[in-house]
Amino acid sequence: MKQFIQSLPKVELHLHIEGTLEPELMFELAARNNITLPFKSFEDVRDAYNFHNLQSFLDIYYQGANVLITEQDFFDLTWAYLLRCKNDNVVHTEIFFDPQTHTERGISFDTVVNGIHNALSKAVEELGITSQLIMCFLRHLDEESAFTTLNQSLEHKDKIVAVGLDSSENGNPASKFERVFKAATKEGFLAVAHAGEEGEASNIREALDLLQITRIDHGVRCSDDESLVKELAMQRTPLTVCPLSNIKLKVFDNMEEHNIVALLRKNVCVTINSDDPAYFGGYMTDNFMAVSNAHEMSKAEIAQFTFNAIEASFIPQREKNRLMMINKAYLENN
């Protein structure tokens, strides 16, 4: 099964590029940019990655992002992640980035998006990995800041496919960003949002109703509302689930308790993703393996996570069909 999962074609839909900042690269960029880190060694950084909830993670996540200054830094960060994708046989990835994390500290929007985009473009040519870029608004900041970010993004519409919503879920409802999302969709952006990770199942309904999103990021708390689960299954509303993240942030106590396989068997369009892999201890293969080790699954069920992710992706139907055929052939031959 390990070999089957390692070589399985994968599609990632929930990945924060800032969350791929490994300690080694953090130190390298800090040295390059003359930034003093509050850590003495790689081990110190990893010791700090013992989180007790979402906020304790966010505090160190934003601290780590301070080493990202130049376009080259953002390129190097993204390229390092894409090499991990190649190793895990990720054939398509849809990446989140948080411009406000950087513009709030004086880094230009152009610097951030161009560095990431250049790496994604190179990956198509050199690694055969396709991608889309999703711009997230930080929900702990105000509506005005989100509108400023939206306006900054407009000259980069050729690089960004969708807007998203991340950061602290509790205390920052979807309603706070209803007008921003309406403006973004008018500009032609697709829309996704984090909901139902730490927050209640009602947050999922609110995000769907108010923000007109086509994908729920996380969404695991849907199980608290059986009628919602049935609606999600019937409408094939995708959930971009992040198993190792959920354990690390104490959404579930252990992987055996995780509901992703139960949701898959209820025909919910669940997908496996790595979220912030540098902080949560695993990229795509690691997440697939963690679920497989905790739950008895057939190869067809494991491959279904990729079929679901292709279905849920923001790529043209012709490309979806091509990836579906690749995944189907792999399943039939293994």
Q: Give the number of residues written for the chain.
A: 334
pLDDT at 40: 85
Tokens of 147: 């509108």
Classify residue 219: in a domain, yes or no: no
Give percent above pLDDT 90 in the chain: 87
Q: In what order do the strands lie in the sheet with 239-241?
A: 10-16, 90-97, 130-138, 162-166, 190-195, 215-218, 239-241, 270-272
Classify residue 73: in a domain, yes or no: yes
pLDDT > 90? residue 37:
no
Closest CA to 112 of 140, 87, 149, 162: 149
Classify residue 184: in a domain, yes or no: no
pLDDT at 299: 98
Residue 196 — pLDDT band, cuts 50, 70, 90? very high
Task: Compute the C-alpha angle 215/217/219, nearest 5°.
Answer: 100
- Indicate which residue of 18, 169, 197, 206 is catalytic: 197
Asked if residues 195 and 237 have their Cβ atoms less than 8 Å apart, the reply is no
CA atoms within 13 A on the CB side of 260: 36
pLDDT in tens, 134-165: 999 999 999 999 999 999 999 999 999 999 99
**CATH assignment of the domain containing 70:** 3.20.20.140
pTM score = 0.96
- What is the extent of the structural domain holding 281? 2-179+271-333
Q: Which residues lie below 8 Å from residue 321, measured CB to CB, with a gap of 6+?
A: none
What are residue 6's phi and psi, to 5 degrees? -55, -45
Closest CA to 51 of 244, 274, 258, 289: 244
Q: Please say if 319 is a catalytic residue.
A: no
Classify residue 212: in a domain, yes or no: no
Return mean pLDDT, the chain: 95
Classify residue 148: in a domain, yes or no: yes
Classify residue 185: in a domain, yes or no: no
Residue 265 — pLDDT band, cuts 50, 70, 90? very high
pLDDT > 90? residue 47:
no
Classify residue 187: in a domain, yes or no: no
What are residue 121's phi and psi, to 5 degrees? -65, -40
In total, how many domains does the chain have?
1
Classify residue 196: in a domain, yes or no: no
The stretch 250-261 carries a mean pLDDT of: 97
